[in-house]
Amino acid sequence: LSMAAILFLPRQFYITAVENRDESQLRTAAWLFPLYLLVINIFVLPIAIGGKTAFAGMSSDADMYVLSVPIYFDQGKLALFAFIGGLSAATSMVIVASIALSTMVCNNLVMPLLLRWKWVDVTEGGDLSALLLTIRRASILIILLLGYGYFRIASESYSLVTIGLVSFTAAAQFAPAIIGGIFSKGGSGAVYAMVPLTQRRMTGQIAGM
């Protein structure tokens, strides 16, 4: 599930495919990203052992060990440092995920409906930049509100690990289609040939953003 999530979660796919500007970046990521995962997980072991030792026989949330262990040993500054780092990481993850999902919503849900209903005039001189930006900004706002609503509903009932595993399982559903698309000879060309000319022009404008 974790291997599938690394490739198919929206934010991971966005960074790997959409933000990728050169093939050499993939070569670097192929060794640097696994090394990053190895190094960062080295720190998980002492934190987990410290939490199990400090809170032995007590009811404690393992997700909070990185904050509760320093506080337990009266290391307030270290806990504050860990909190700031966690807040920074969580904020960046929310930003990237929101941008990735808003792009998907715009390109694959909203714009096809607008084009089908003839609400958008796609011509050679038509500029869709303002419309696309508006759709994406509205999508980001809606996604953030939905995420906050889910947090209010599920955070008291499920741990962060459980929620993460459910997300990984959902992302794994994309694996057959994406892997099949990668290894299918001529699959991309066949799909592109079926796309109407007007939608190709719209896609070109989207790509230019």
Q: What is the pLDDT of residues 138-190, one digit of tens each?
A: 999 999 999 899 888 877 777 777 888 888 888 888 888 878 877 776 655 54
Q: How far is CA 48 from CA 2, 39, 44, 161, in A?
A: 20, 15, 6, 14
Q: What is the pLDDT of residues 92-102, one digit of tens each?
A: 989 988 988 89
Rounded to 5 degrees, what are φ and ψ at 191?
-65, -45
Contact partners, residue 55, CB within 8 Å, separation at least 6: 68, 72
Q: 195: pLDDT confidence band, cut at 50, 70 and 90?
A: very low
Q: What is the pLDDT of residues 33-45, one digit of tens each?
A: 889 889 988 988 8
Tell whether pTM > 0.75: no
Query: Is the predicted pLDDT of residue 129 greater than 50, yes or no?
Result: yes
Half-sphere exposure (CA, 13 Å, Cβ side) for 189? 4
